Chain A
Amino acid sequence: MADDILRIRTPIGIDYTWSSGPGSVVYMRGLENGKLIGRRCPACELVYFPPRNGICPRCGVLLAAEVEVGPRGTITTFCIVNVPFLGQTIKIPYVAATILLDGADIGMQHLIQECEAADVRMGMRVEPVWKDKSEWTPSLENILYYKPTGEPDADFDVYARHL
């Protein structure tokens, strides 16, 4: 029986044009210049990085003041990815961590390297390793990965409310 007729392979792909909007422009511009720029909510005063959509999801108001965050941060939680998948760009196993940058009130995801996966801990202090300046684009991929700073781990209480 002709199995290739019963199930025909028809790959699809999608290219997007993403309108970053005024809320995210400062963030993208910052990255292009090697800076991590978040924005503060004028109502709850919490700092969002990235300032996605330019709106505070709790208060529903436009984010306002630009705030430089990081560059260092604290790993709140993480996953050791050990599963291959289509479109994967990083060699497994790798650590995808949620990092609470100093001065930000919400974690963001990034890669942890220069450290065995088994040695990564909740509360570990990390800092970014940037690509060469000539390769910078408006992308968080300007940061190759985060690495341990060697500082003492943050207390659980410090980041517990971010889990």
Chain B
Amino acid sequence: MALHRCAVVGVGQTHHTSCRGDVSIAGLVREAVDRALLDANMTLADIDAIVIGKAPDMLEGVMMPELWLTDSLAASGKPLFRVHTAGSVGGSTAIVAAQHVMSGLHKRVLTIAFEKQSDGNAMWALSVPLPFSMPVHAGAGGYFSPIVRSYIRRSGAPSHIGAMVAVKDRTNALKNPYAHLHEDHWTLEKAMESPMLWDPIRFVETCPSSDGAIALVLASEDVADKMPGKKAWVHSTAMRSEPTMFAGRNQVSPRAGEMCAEDVFRKAGITDPLKQIDAVEMYVPFSWFEPMWLENLGFAPKDQGWRFVEDGVTEMTGALPVNASGGVLSSNPIGASGMLRFGEAALQVMGKAGEHQIDGARTALGHAYGGGSQFFAMWVVGSEKN
């Protein structure tokens, strides 16, 4: 089946911060939506359909917030979908929205992802005791830290790699006015002294807890062609999933992630990702996941991802800039974090990333994962039509 072309024609996000006590969830979401619509030079009346996503409802304790948000998004008389794939949800929500356009069903689709972490307690929500297991689990860090230890053991990576990624992302975030953390004091030496929270993960190597939202306006080719502004054409999208626990599972480099990357690159006609991708926005909530995903995505050979970090390949000036925006390590409104990766990738190829623009970026990858590295969502966007 031939797909219709789809372009990102508007991007809007909030300034991510630890507590937006001045707005409700609806107010936070509407702020991002208004900015995206302004960027696309549209109003809510122009929108045909709305696709919204957020991470587990338990994070804020507001069950099915889409019921409430229908009002503030003027969704009356329009289709509204809620998407849910844990931490990858921002990515999969953007993909579902793109499919609304690529199917030929809709011409102007608004997609939104958000999290208001200050309204709840994510650490508690992600540490719920289960009747068949021992309650030693300690949030996302407690889940991912043993996997990071496995990666370090398997690859022989030196212990400063995680700190290097953290310093890079925090430094990149200084160029992004929307980033939650603007910390200009980090050096590798200081980062190495940061306390171990979930040993082997240091405090500096963890993401913050953020309130924030992002919205994208997606348009069909005929609509996008009539718009004067820059666009990001969606060259391909892919999603994959796998069980969180099964015997013999490769938890460091899940097969679903490898399959998702192979699929998204194949559909975009990319045969040499390292050469053909100009910028990557990768879901890295704990810094060690940068080298791990470099391998999982096929940018680096097995066990060699950390060498890319050490050699500066993923710096803004490197051959494969990763997270010029500062990434999840600098802003983590969980449900929005995946769409932030997708939106930041779009901004790069639109040439609208401001101070953190990668010069001449024409093709970019947006990447998100969620659950126990269980759900993967990716898209490749380009400055030209595919």
Contact = CB atoms under 8 A, between A and B. Distances in A.
B147 A77 contact: yes
Nearest to A86: B124
B29 to A, nearest CB: 18
A87 interface: yes
29 contacts: A6-B21, A6-B22, A20-B131, A48-B247, A56-B246, A57-B243, A57-B245, A57-B246, A76-B150, A78-B146, A79-B145, A82-B197, A82-B199, A83-B138, A83-B197, A85-B138, A85-B139, A87-B127, A87-B129, A96-B136, A96-B146, A106-B247, A109-B136, A109-B137, A117-B199, A122-B153, A140-B134, A162-B248, A163-B150
B133 interface: yes
Interface in A90-142: 90, 93-94, 96-98, 105-106, 108-111, 117, 122, 139-141
B139 A79 contact: no
B134 A82 contact: no
Contacts of A90: 135-136
Which of B137, B146, B150, B195 is packed against the most chain A CB atoms within 10 Å? B146
Nearest to A3: B21
Contacts of B139: 83, 85
Nearest to A85: B123
A81 B153 contact: no
Contacts, number: 126
A44 B247 CA distance: 10
Given A79-B138, A79-B146, A85 B127 contact: yes
B196 interface: yes
Interface of B: 21-22, 61, 121, 123-124, 127, 129, 131-139, 141-142, 145-147, 149-150, 153-154, 195-199, 243, 245-248, 250-252
Contact of A122 (B142, B149, B243): B149
Nearest to B243: A57
Contact of A96 (B132, B138, B154): B138
A59 B343 CA distance: 37
B21 A7 contact: yes
Contacts of B138: 79, 81, 83, 85, 88, 96
Contacts of A98: 146
B251 A163 contact: yes
A156 B149 CA distance: 13
A109 B127 CA distance: 13
A155 to B, nearest CB: 13
B246 A140 contact: no
Which are the 10 A-B pairs with shortest beta-carbon distances? A80-B199, A79-B145, A163-B150, A57-B246, A57-B243, A96-B136, A105-B247, A77-B146, A46-B247, A85-B123
